[in-house]
Structure 1
Amino acid sequence: MFSPTTLALPDQALLMVIRPPPHDLSSLHRLDAAGWAALAARATSANLAPLLFYTLRHEGVLDLAPAEVRQRLSEEYYASVRRQLLFSTELEPVLATLRSHGVVPLLLKGVVLAETTYPDVGLRPMADIDILVHAADLPRVRQALQPLGYYTTATGAETNDEFFNGELSFAKGTHTETLALEFHQNLVHHWNFTAPLKIDSDALWQRAQPLTLAGQPVVQLAAEDMLLHLCLHRAMHHGFTGLPGYVDIAWMTATQRTRINWERLTARARTYQAEAIVFLALQLAHDLLGAAVPENTLRALAPAPWRQRLLLRLVDLELILTVDVAPAQEDAGRVLNVAVIDTLPGVIAWLWQRLFPGVRWQKTNYALDSTIHAYAYALLLHPLRIVGGFAARAARVALRSKAFSQYRS
């Protein structure tokens, strides 16, 4: 469906090198010094320099790069390895202490992928560790982590408040080598998406699989649930932008294909009312990075043709290749939040949740002390702000000249 062959040569080369093997490295031989610099810059900004370095070295083509590029990529790779080893050292007592307090941690995303999917732990950099726990465990999480020096900004009363069921962050400080912990009660926590998606959290726990991480017994999502989570995360938090998430999908489908039951994945996506989300994420990973997704799975998940055309119009390849997205560039992703909702009741629920998220939300997000002011925001000012902002975004998307559709084959 998509063909990025009209991209600049350094970007074409990047997509070919960071995908799972086998690799087509012919584009590397056509890069000049400026092209190599552009390739390294793009990989570094996307946090993919360690993977680029590893593949170039593993394939025996590292000497094609200029010396300064080799040095830069080497530094990024070894810094990532060092950071991951430090994380592993810090994670061991965390996991042990949680289990001693009766908390069973279900590890999510990067920390699991680094261990189970990539050939080297340094190839999957991460800024924090995502952990799924039961809501009733949150007070014990706080009790377990405080003696280790971890703190959260949430008060004790707020820890188990439904409002904080998105994520509860613990950290020792602001140093870049400090391990940050993000505790979640469910996979879907972004307030934009809690209404339209229907995910059975209890079933996720029932299907969880054992895993040993940092020398400690933990659990991980079943393969199908992990892949669905990667797709949902691309939509919920990134508006389908950012390349690393698609790299995760591509590598997981390549290295764990024997563990993935595609019929079960399709059925769960349908149950979650997330077929369009999963289709678009898998299609992009397939076309850009060669993700090993069966064609019949894509056909089973695909929305109606008119809706596919709409999704193609909204996705912007430049925003996939760019991680640090400026606010004005988020328009396509925000409109996609609506376009990928599978049902009309889901769209209505999403709109209602966006327009009227509640007085508690108003007080927290607008830093309001007065409940009267919060009600004013909740009933009038916030809805007007959302409607006006969404209309402006839709207009900019309709008028923008650079859409992903120009890269279609």
Structure 2
Amino acid sequence: MARVRVAVYVTRPGTESTDVLTFAHRDFPEAGIQVPAGGVEPGENLEAAAIRECAEETGITAIRDLTALGVDQSPHPETGQERVTVFFHAHLGQPAPDHWQHTVGGTGTDDGMVFDCRFQPVEEAESDLVDRQGELLGAVRSLGRAGPAAPEAVPAVTAATFRGEEGGAGGRADTVDLLLTLVDTSPDLERAAGLVRRGVDWDRLLALATRHRVLPLVARNLDAGALFVPSAYAYATMDTYLAAYLYHRRRNEALLDELAVLARELDRADVPFAVRKGLVLATRYHRDLGVRPMMDLDLLVDAADTARTVGALTDLGYSAGKVDDRSRVVHPLPRDEQLYWHLHTNAMPPMFRATGDPAVRLYTVDITRELALPSSGMRIPAADVVGRARPLPLGTVEVLAPSPEDLVLDLCVHTYKESTTLRYLHRLKHQRLIQYADLREVLRVEKNVLDWETLVKRAAGYGAVPALYFTLAHLESLWAGSVPPGLLPRLGAGLEPTFLDQYGAVDLPEPAVWDTGFLTRMFDDRVELPLPKGPSLV
């Protein structure tokens, strides 16, 4: 069977023409000039493979407008092995020098090799590239500086297209593709139906949607499109999916009622506060209480008001500590955890109140005084956000909610924290598609209101531009077109080429770098990752 490969032309405007990313082996110059290319891993779709190969071989992790150009079926020039190579074109989505050296990561035979990377004119690269890699550069040159063709004009290409009998339809790549299609308040149900006709592993979809906290949204869209096809071999049924939607709708209704109780008590205590994330996102942006899972109620308060906030919640029967899951008894926090919360977090220890409601066995309230971790290099006082907050009706009360700019900043900083801090990585919180789905819905709803210049300026004042860039770049790699054109290179100016793959900055002397691309690690099936330890793991 032919080996399935990808190759990607990453371009940027040059001085007189378009430049394309190429590299050469530092220690083996006889290997010639190449573009990022390599084999597709099992279960990986072609777009993810292209992004991964680019990151592994050059350190460039942010590319945009990824578009399939064509297919080359020439055999390997030395071994004669049959190959199918899908060529892609993409625009550079981050700042990069003209020349640099990169040490290859990943698990392939190139791991540890040093590549001399550079951008060179397309016309020059056409004749320099080896192994027929320059065959389709003419198509890139014809694009000129006008940019790529409209994405919708290019049909989706996945690894399943070339799998033949090996793996069959309904494999992991198809499941991820269907998941990304259904995680949308206005999904393309026609495209989803086409993916379902190819065959679906409903159990795998159930597991993925659960892990990424998007199962209720997926369930609602499966039901709305009458997409589910029963299988005698699958554990999952449509009832299994819908049960999640119905449960979270009931749970969130109870949380909405509890918020009204909290709001009245905090008003009596004269504590200014704003509601953060969950209920704001579910009601204003997802517009359906059932589709957005919520574990707790998040409040933003001025650090000077935290004692009065804790006092008001205590009067309602809340207490801080660790919960015994069986008895629902709240025990005092151990000394080391008290110190951790005081020194290393941006919030107070969670407060709990037991209930008799089977949908919400415990009400949990998180009190946030800062949007960023103390050691992150950012400082975003909750008091600033509360001061700019706007009234928002939630259930039976009117509360304050962050402005669109502050909400986007908060979502980006929070996602960056959970995607790069060891405490959260060990808990797989970097695999939360819901965080990116939240951000996409906010950008959609606030499209005509959100002031990007104000947001960027505000982020710069708080030292949060890298976090903004990190999250928006990864959002764009999941759903192209989510971020305004030209914004990402501006945000990423001055950052290292590997920044989007770095983690552990608040835990380690120097940040570590993932050896896989974003999409590969986002949908990694492992439940334990070989990660280092750090002080955040209390």
Equivalent residue in structure 2 for 1:79, among 215, 234, 247: 247
Find 2:262's aligned residue among 94, 102, 105: 94
**Is the partner of 2:367 in helix, strand or coil?**
strand
1:156-183 per-residue CA deviation (whole Å, 9 max, x = no partner) reads xx89x96475223110149853210010
Which residue number corresponds to residue 290 of structure 2?
122
Aligned alpha-carbon RMSD (Å): 3.2
1:46 matched to 2:248? The reply is no
Amino acid at match of 2:213: N
Q: How many Å separate the matches in 2 of 1:278 and 1:243?
A: 17
Asked if 1 retains the 8 angstrom alpha-carbon contact of 2:212 and 2:431, the reply is no
Q: Could you say what secondary structure the match of 1:122 adopts?
A: coil
Alignment of 1:287 with 2:477, yes or no, is: yes
Letter in 1 for 2:491: L
Note the alpha carbon deviations across 1:50-88, whole angstroms, 9 max, x for none: 000112223x23344548431111111101111111111
Following superposition of structure 1 onto structure 2, how do residues 147-226 of structure 1 map, counting pairs within 5 Å? 147-153=315-321, 163=343, 166-173=347-354, 176-188=360-372, 190-193=373-376, 196-199=377-380, 201-226=382-407
Instruction: Tell me what 1:350 maps to.
Output: none
In structure 2, distance between residues paired with 1:234 and 1:311? 13
In structure 1, C-alpha distance between the alignment counterparts of 2:383 and 2:276, rounded to whole Å: 16
How far, CA to CA, are the matches of 1:283 and 1:237 in structure 2? 16
1:32 aligns with 2:162: no
- Contact residue 242 and residue 323 of structure 1 kept, 8 A: no
- Deviation (angstroms), 1:248: 0.9
* Cα offset, 1:323, TM superposition: 9.4
Structure 1 residues 134 and 62: CA distance shift in structure 2, 3 A = same
- Structure 2 residues without counterparts, runs of 5 or longer: 1-62, 67-156, 160-171, 322-331, 421-429, 502-512
The answer to whether residue 176 in structure 2 is matched with residue 11 in structure 1 is yes
Q: Partner residue of 2:521?
A: 319
**Equivalent residue of 1:178, what SS?**
strand
Q: Deviations over 1:18-63 (max 9, x none)?
A: 0343523255334425x222112211222211000112223x2334
The 2-side partners of 1:119 and 1:217 are apart by 17
Is the CA contact (8 Å cut-off) linking 1:40 and 1:69 kept in structure 2?
no
Moved more, 207-216 or 178-187: 207-216
In our comparison, the structure showing a higher alpha carbon Rg is 2
Does structure 2 retain, via aligned residues, the 8 Å contact 1:83–1:177?
Answer: no
Residues 281 and 5 of structure 1, relative CA distance in 2, 3 Å threshold: farther
Of the structure 1 ranges 112-121 and 274-283, higher mean CA displacement relative to structure 2 is found in 274-283
Partner of 2:353, secondary structure, is coil
**Given that residues 62 and 70 in structure 1 are in contact (C-alpha distance below 8 angstroms), is that contact kept between their aligned partners in structure 2?**
no
Q: Matched residues in 2 for 1:184 and 1:201: separation?
A: 7
1:231 paired residue number: 412
- Farther off after superposition, 92-101 or 138-147: 138-147
Judging by fraction of residues, say which structure has more helix. Answer: 1
Higher relative contact order (CA 8 A, sep 6+): 1
Q: Paired residue for 1:70, among 238, 254, 258?
A: 238
- The answer as to whether partners of 2:185 and 2:286 remain within 8 angstroms in 1 is no
TM-score normalised by structure 1 residue count: 0.71
Number of residue pairs the alignment of both structures matches: 327
Task: Give the 3 Å change call, closer, same or farther, for CA 262–213 of structure 1 in structure 2.
Answer: same
SS state at 2:237 partner: helix
CA distance in 2, matches of 1:221, 1:97: 20
SS of equivalent residue, structure 1 residue 125:
coil
Q: What amino acid is the match of 1:114?
A: A
The match for 1:307 among 491, 496, 506 is 496
Give CA deviations for 1:330-361 in whole Å, capped at 9, x if unaligned: 56xx9xxxxxxxxxxxxxxxxxxx89xxxxx9
> Given that residues 224 and 265 in structure 1 are in contact (C-alpha distance below 8 angstroms), is that contact kept between their aligned partners in structure 2?
yes
Q: Give the 5 Å matches for 1:303-382.
A: 303-304=493-494, 307-312=496-501, 314=514, 315-321=517-523, 326=528, 328=530, 330=531
Shift of 1:11: 0.7
| 1:89–1:162 CA distance, 2 compared to 1 (3 A) | same
Residue 141 of structure 1: which of 281, 302, 309 is its match? Answer: 309
The whole-number CA distance in structure 1 between the counterparts of 2:411 and 2:240 is 29
Structure-2 change in CA distance of 1:291 and 1:322 (3 Å):
farther
Q: Aligned partner of 1:232: which letter?
A: V
Provide TM-score, normalisation by structure 2: 0.55
Q: In proportion to residue count, which structure has more strand?
A: 2
**Runs of 4 or more above 6 Å deviation:** none
